């Protein structure tokens, strides 16, 4: 029997697919059909009656309704994206700062890491909702000093609203930083420490090292964190857009309600989110010619070791020659 | 002795009802062996599972050929649960709904006008319950249970300011006079709290009207609404109505989230039966205040708004006649009310879900078994001949539109701050409401 020969690249690709397999199986089993169905629904007036599903073709009417008649959804969608810009910036910066601090040789580093990650595990949907309702996600000082009032008085409404919203949920926003901190830390640990040594020898201080070494090295991590955070913000149970879509599904007796409208809203939301992710990708994309190879892959490390060994051998051999 | 008498009375009444129903108006019940399904919410509340069990047992005893199965649906995702059941073609024969128009639009609800008009027991329902719940002239829902508004009278404050408690036949004019006398903002004691006048005045002064003047066909932003919203603003601005700021609550009550009515700071507080338990127990102990519970004051229209839970008969039921009967025995009928009351009493709980029928025996049963502080409230229902108007928001078309417009434009707030007068905005609200009703009916009736 002929032995099947699989190349190194194919083997690696296959490994990747094996890791992807659970997600693919889940997607095909649970999501694919509803996904296609929801596109179909979005072109219909859908009623789940006592005797079965009743669908009436309406074409693009549901989409027209969303943009021309529905005042709530488009406003919430705009608010979500304006809020997200600010929140994304705060989460990305805050988690980077914390990750850099936790990456220092501290005593009890593991405890601090756990503490920052804990809210993600502990605070599930209903708990989070309760905390928000109780006002536990706002800093009382911000309210007692009337910071929101000042913001609203000083800035145009377009800027004031997202800022006030950010202040009123600042603790919540910081809670969302658990996973980004972990991702940043992975990136930080992969940076070759000799680069910092070399830059110090060249006279760079910590500030310059951060901008010239740390930040460029973390660029891919910023993208991953950006995508993760945006998707997280978009799908959290506290998201108003999601709540509206969910609510409209079961209001088929009212104008602007029903599965048809809710499906078209969901697609508008998903496509807008897709666009936002593309923009994020473009912003964080590494420019050609500016790439700095400061992160080492496993192969690079192996190659470097090999070179170092060769150099040592050469040196030894050379030394012997000179000795003669 | 009283208990025994009321029990005998209830039994006699129940026995007399069975043949009466079969003879008058409605066709006879089936003699086949069938199974009916029913779904009610509130199963997490203490006493409700036992009530359901008792009601089913009572129905099955009256109709031994009918087996009843209770369908458990999570209350938090009630609509989703019903939608899932509908998509499988398994809607219960009888079920409660939060939103009647949606049930009608989804073709879940059977037209029950015939039963509503021909069942003698249905004539015991408060007239406004039948009339203002109609959609396009038809009954699709029945009122199941109600939570009437109650007046929590703080006897301690009445005594402190030497004011006598009113008669139960009091009017809204009496209420405002008393509020004035009892209000002492310098002591942080107030005459009234929870000023729901826009909810309550249309029923009180115009009779069969719900919030925003819903009369079964249209909303009415008329003089009564103008008076209600302006009175509210006046009471708050003159510090007759409790409206303490967080700062005041912190300084006076020691907690920015404190609830002044529960801390004995208001003489007449409007609330519902579901708050009763805490006032009768720990609020009383913590504050040292005594409360008695009154019916709401009356207006010329003799109507009173109550929060009502609604049910429907499934459009897909194979046994509509039997399902109608089941709805009656499980919730709105006099026999169901008596059984509910009896079960609650046997468990030692206060009755929070009140009957939707005006049947004197039912209210007499409540009065006979009431604690002293609740006697004025129940006497009010027996003696004053009030017509109970159901909360219109689960039933009235266009509600979502007018409510969203009203809240997003902060109408109450603007009138309170004097940025707007009620008369200025009434016509605009009327137009929005009319359009909302028209648009909703168009969707609802598929025009």
Secondary structure (DSSP) of B20-69: HHHHTTSPPPP-S-EEEEEE-S-TTSTTHHHHHHHHHHHHHHH-TTEEEE
Residues 6+ positions from A275 with CB-CB distance below 8 Å: none
Which alpha helices (H) appear in B38-166, and where do they start and end? 48-62, 78-87, 100-105, 113-118, 127-131, 155-160
**Complete DSSP assignment for B277-329:** HHIIIIIHHHH---EEEEPPPB-TT-EEEEEEEEEEEBTT-S-HHHHHHHHII
Q: Would you give the end-to-end CA distance of chain B in angstroms? A: 60
Residue of A nearest to B83 (CA): A48
Between CA B329 and CA B366 the distance in angstroms is 18
pLDDT at A3 over 90: no
State residue A1's pLDDT score: 54
Residue matched to tokens 């409208």: A261
Mean pLDDT to the nearest integer, A288-306: 58
A48 at interface of B, judged by CB pairs closer than 8 A: yes
Where would I find the beta strands (DSSP E) of B290-445? 291-294, 303-313, 387-390
**Complete DSSP assignment for A112-158:** HHHHHHHHHHH--HHHHHHHHHTTTTS-HHHHHTTHHHHHHHHS-HH
Q: Would the CA dihedral through A209, A214, A215, A219 be positive or negative?
A: positive
Q: At what angle do helices A71-102 and A109-122 cross, to 10 degrees?
A: 160
Between CA A130 and CA A108 the distance in angstroms is 32
Contacts of B443 in chain A (CB under 8 A): 253-255, 257
Q: What is the pLDDT of residues B198-219, one digit of tens each?
A: 999 999 999 889 999 998 889 9
Q: How far is the alpha carbon of B37 from chain A, nearest alpha carbon, in Å?
A: 14
3-state secondary structure of B148: strand
> Which CA distances in Å does A218 have to A209, A213, A221, A225, A300?
13, 9, 5, 10, 18
**Pairs of CB atoms within 8 A across A/B:** 64
For B252: left if phi > 0, alpha if psi spans -120 to 50, otherwise beta; the answer is: alpha
State residue A290's pLDDT score: 52
Contacts of A53 in chain B (CB under 8 A): 87
Residue of A nearest to B446 (CA): A253
Mean pLDDT to the nearest integer, A268-279: 95
Residue matched to tokens 């309600």: A257
Residue of A nearest to B109 (CA): A50
Mean pLDDT to the nearest integer, B382-406: 90
Quick check: B102 and A48 CB within 8 A? Answer: no
Is B287 in contact with B264 (CB distance < 8 Å)? Answer: yes
> Which of these ranges, A222-231, A303-312, B314-323, B367-376, has the smallest mean pLDDT?
A303-312
Between CA B56 and CA B93 the distance in angstroms is 14
Question: B25: pLDDT confidence band, cut at 50, 70 and 90?
Answer: confident
pLDDT at B323 over 90: yes
Q: How far is the alpha carbon of B23 from chain A, nearest alpha carbon, in Å?
A: 31
Q: How far is the alpha carbon of A95 from chain B, nearest alpha carbon, in Å?
A: 33
Quick check: B83 and A250 CB within 8 A? Answer: yes
Question: A114: pLDDT confidence band, cut at 50, 70 and 90?
Answer: confident
Contacts of B439 in chain A (CB under 8 A): 255
State residue B326's pLDDT score: 98
Residue of B nearest to A144 (CA): B247
Phi, psi dihedral angles at B152 (to 5 degrees): -90, 105
Pair type for strands B303-313 and B94-97: antiparallel
Quick check: B79 and A47 CB within 8 A? Answer: no
Contacts of B440 in chain A (CB under 8 A): 253-255
Quick check: B106 and A50 CB within 8 A? Answer: yes
3-state secondary structure of A1: coil
Residues 6+ positions from B286 with CB-CB distance below 8 Å: B263
Question: B350: pLDDT confidence band, cut at 50, 70 and 90?
Answer: confident
Between CA B274 and CA B150 the distance in angstroms is 10
Contacts of A250 in chain B (CB under 8 A): 79-80, 83, 102
Mean pLDDT to the nearest integer, B259-265: 96
Quick check: A253 and B316 CB within 8 A? Answer: no
Is B441 in contact with B136 (CB distance < 8 Å)? Answer: yes
Q: Which of A37, A48, A243 to mutate to test the interface with B (most CBs of B within 10 A)?
A: A48
Residue matched to tokens 């309702």: A133
State residue A125's pLDDT score: 64
CB atoms within 10 A of CB B366: 21
Quick check: B89 and A254 CB within 8 A? Answer: no
Where would I find the beta strands (DSSP E) of B80-188? 94-97, 134-135, 138-139, 142-148, 150-154
Between CA B355 and CA B121 the distance in angstroms is 13
- The secondary structure of residue A213, as a DSSP letter, is I
Mean pLDDT to the nearest integer, A234-259: 86
SS3 per residue for A18-33: HHHHHHHHHHHHHHHH
Residue B337 sits at the vertex; the CA angle it makes with B320 and B37, to the nearest 5 degrees, is 35
Mean pLDDT to the nearest integer, B359-374: 94
State residue B165's pLDDT score: 97
Quick check: A254 and B314 CB within 8 A? Answer: no
Mean pLDDT to the nearest integer, B425-432: 96
Residues 6+ positions from A113 with CB-CB distance below 8 Å: A102, A181, A182, A185
A110 at interface of B, judged by CB pairs closer than 8 A: no
Cβ burial A106-135 (10 Å sphere, 16+ → b, else e): eeeeeeebeebeebbeebeeeebeebbeee
Phi, psi dihedral angles at A49 (to 5 degrees): -85, 175
Residue B199 CB-density burial (10 A; 0-12 exposed, 13-18 middle, 19+ buried): buried
The mean predicted confidence, pLDDT, of chain A is 82
> Which of these ranges, A176-180, B178-182, B203-207, B435-439, has the smallest mean pLDDT?
A176-180
Q: How far is the alpha carbon of B122 from chain A, nearest alpha carbon, in Å?
A: 25
Question: B447: pLDDT confidence band, cut at 50, 70 and 90?
Answer: low
pLDDT at B160 over 80: yes
Contacts of B444 in chain A (CB under 8 A): 253
Q: How far is the alpha carbon of A107 from chain B, nearest alpha carbon, in Å?
A: 40
State what percent of residues in chain A have pLDDT above 70.
Answer: 81
State what percent of residues in chain B have pLDDT above 70.
Answer: 94
> Which of these ranges, A310-319, B30-39, B112-121, has the smallest mean pLDDT?
A310-319
Q: How far is the alpha carbon of A156 from chain B, nearest alpha carbon, in Å?
A: 19
State residue A308's pLDDT score: 73
So what's the architecture of A70-293 in CATH? Orthogonal Bundle (1.10)
| CA torsion angle A214 A217 A219 A225 (round to 10) | -80
CB atoms within 10 A of CB A152: 16
Q: What is the pLDDT of residues A76-92, one digit of tens each?
A: 999 999 888 888 988 99
State residue A310's pLDDT score: 75
pLDDT at A151 over 80: no
Quick check: A49 and B104 CB within 8 A? Answer: no
A52 at interface of B, judged by CB pairs closer than 8 A: yes
A254 at interface of B, judged by CB pairs closer than 8 A: yes
Q: Give the CA diameter of chain B.
A: 71
Residue B130 sits at the vertex; the CA angle it makes with B124 and B135, to the nearest 5 degrees, is 165
Q: How far is the alpha carbon of A199 from chain B, nearest alpha carbon, in Å?
A: 55
B108 at interface of A, judged by CB pairs closer than 8 A: yes
Domains along chain B?
A: 2-148+306-379 (3.40.190.10), 150-303+393-445 (3.40.190.10)
Contacts of B437 in chain A (CB under 8 A): none
Q: Would the CA dihedral through B23, B28, B33, B39 be positive or negative?
A: negative
Contacts of A52 in chain B (CB under 8 A): 87, 89
Question: B23: pLDDT confidence band, cut at 50, 70 and 90?
Answer: very low
Taking only residues 305 to 334 of chain B, the set having a beta carbon closer than 8 angstroms to any beta carbon of chain A reads 314-316
Q: Would the CA dihedral through B44, B308, B378, B15 be positive or negative?
A: negative
Report the complex ipTM.
Answer: 0.72
Q: Would you give the end-to-end CA distance of chain A in angstroms? A: 58
Q: How far is the alpha carbon of B68 from chain A, nearest alpha carbon, in Å?
A: 20
Question: A142: pLDDT confidence band, cut at 50, 70 and 90?
Answer: low
Higher pLDDT, B328 or B444: B328
**Complete DSSP assignment for A18-87:** HHHHHHHHHIIIIIHHHHHHHHHHHTEEEEEETTEEEEEE-TTHHHHHHHHT-HHHHHHHHHHHHHHHHH
Q: What is the pLDDT of residues B407-428, one digit of tens each?
A: 989 999 999 999 999 999 999 9
Q: How far is the alpha carbon of B253 from chain A, nearest alpha carbon, in Å?
A: 18
Is A305 in contact with A284 (CB distance < 8 Å)? Answer: no
State residue A276's pLDDT score: 94
Residue of A nearest to B438 (CA): A255
Mean pLDDT to the nearest integer, B93-111: 93
Residue of B nearest to A51 (CA): B89
Q: Would the CA dihedral through B323, B105, B97, B296 be positive or negative?
A: negative
Question: A323: pLDDT confidence band, cut at 50, 70 and 90?
Answer: very low
The mean predicted confidence, pLDDT, of chain B is 91
């Amino acid at each position: 029997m002929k032995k099947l020969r699989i190349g190194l690249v194919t083997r690696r690709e296959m490994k990747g697919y094996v890791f992807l397999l659970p997600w693919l199986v889940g997607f095909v089993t649970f999501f694919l059909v509803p996904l296609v169905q929801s596109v179909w629904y979005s072109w219909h007036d859908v009623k789940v009656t006592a005797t079965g599903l009743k669908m009436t073709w309406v074409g693009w009417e549901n989409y027209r309704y969303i943009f021309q008649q529905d005042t709530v959804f488009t406003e919430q969608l705009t608010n979500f994206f304006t809020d997200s810009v600010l929140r994304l910036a705060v989460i990305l910066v805050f988690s980077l700062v914390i990750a850099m601090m936790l990456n220092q040789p501290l005593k009890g580093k593991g405890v601090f890491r756990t503490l920052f990650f804990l809210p993600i595990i502990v605070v599930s949907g209903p708990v989070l909702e309760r905390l928000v309702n109780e006002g536990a996600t706002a800093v009382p000082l911000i309210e007692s000093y009337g910071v929101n009032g000042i913001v609203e008085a000083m800035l145009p409404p377009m800027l004031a609203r997202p800022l006030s919203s950010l202040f009123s949920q600042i603790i919540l926003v910081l809670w969302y930083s658990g996973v980004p901190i972990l991702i940043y830390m992975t990136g930080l640990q992969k940076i070759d420490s000799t680069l910092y040594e070399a830059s110090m020898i060249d006279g760079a201080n910590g500030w310059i090292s951060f901008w010239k070494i740390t930040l460029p090295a973390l660029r891919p991590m910023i993208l991953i964190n950006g995508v993760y955070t945006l998707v997280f913000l978009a799908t959290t149970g506290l998201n108003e857009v999601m709540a509206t879509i969910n609510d409209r599904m079961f209001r088929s007796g009212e104008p602007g309600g029903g599965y048809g409208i809710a499906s078209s809203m969901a697609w508008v939301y998903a496509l807008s989110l897709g666009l936002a992710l593309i923009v994020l990708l473009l912003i964080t994309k590494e420019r050609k010619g500016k790439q700095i190879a400061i992160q080492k892959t496993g192969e690079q490390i192996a190659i470097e070791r090999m070179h170092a060994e060769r150099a040592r051998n050469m040196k030894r051999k050379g030394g012997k020659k000179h000795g003669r | 002795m009283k208990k025994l008498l009321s029990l005998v009375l209830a039994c006699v009444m129940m026995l007399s009802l069975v043949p009466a129903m079969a003879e008058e108006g409605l066709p006879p019940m089936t003699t086949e062996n069938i199974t009916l399904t029913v779904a009610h919410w509130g199963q997490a509340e203490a006493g409700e599972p036992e009530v359901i069990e008792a009601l089913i047992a009572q129905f099955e005893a009256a109709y031994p050929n009918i087996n009843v199965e209770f369908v458990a649906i999570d209350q938090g995702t009630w609509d989703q649960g019903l939608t899932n059941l509908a998509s499988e073609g398994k809607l219960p024969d009888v079920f409660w709904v939060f939103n009647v128009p949606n049930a009608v639009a989804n073709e879940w609800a059977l037209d029950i006008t015939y039963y509503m008009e021909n069942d003698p027991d249905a004539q015991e329902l408060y007239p406004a319950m039948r009339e203002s719940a109609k959609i396009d002239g038809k009954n699709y829902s029945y009122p199941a249970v109600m939570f009437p508004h109650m007046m929590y009278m703080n006897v301690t404050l009445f005594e402190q300011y030497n004011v006598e408690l009113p008669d139960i036949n009091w009017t809204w004019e009496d209420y405002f006079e008393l509020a004035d006398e009892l209000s002492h903002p310098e002591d942080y004691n107030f005459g009234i709290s929870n000023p729901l006048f826009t909810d309550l005045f249309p029923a009180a002064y115009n009779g069969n009207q719900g919030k925003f003047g819903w009369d079964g066909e249209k909303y009415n932003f008329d003089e009564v609404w103008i008076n209600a919203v302006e009175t509210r603003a006046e009471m708050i601005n003159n510090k007759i109505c409790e409206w303490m700021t967080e700062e005041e609550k912190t300084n006076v009550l020691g907690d920015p989230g404190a609830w002044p009515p529960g801390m004995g700071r208001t003489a007449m507080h409007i609330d519902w039966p579901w708050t009763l338990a805490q006032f009768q127990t720990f609020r009383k102990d913590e504050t040292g205040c005594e409360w008695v519970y009154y019916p709401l004051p009356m207006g010329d229209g003799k109507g009173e708004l109550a929060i009502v839970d609604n049910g429907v008969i499934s459009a897909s039921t194979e046994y509509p006649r039997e399902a109608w009967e089941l709805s009656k025995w499980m919730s709105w009928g006099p026999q169901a009310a008596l059984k509910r009351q009896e079960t609650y009493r046997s468990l030692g709980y206060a009755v929070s879900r009140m009957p939707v029928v005006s049947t004197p025996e039912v209210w007499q049963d409540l009065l006979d078994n009431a604690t002293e502080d609740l006697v004025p409230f129940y006497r009010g229902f027996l003696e004053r001949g009030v017509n109970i108007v159901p909360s219109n928001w689960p039933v009235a078309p266009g509600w979502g539109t007018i409510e969203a417009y009203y809240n997003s434009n902060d109408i109450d707030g603007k009138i309170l701050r004097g940025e707007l007068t009620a008369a200025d905005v009434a016509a605009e609200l009327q137009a929005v409401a009319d359009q909302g009703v028209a648009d909703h009916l168009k969707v609802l009736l598929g025009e």
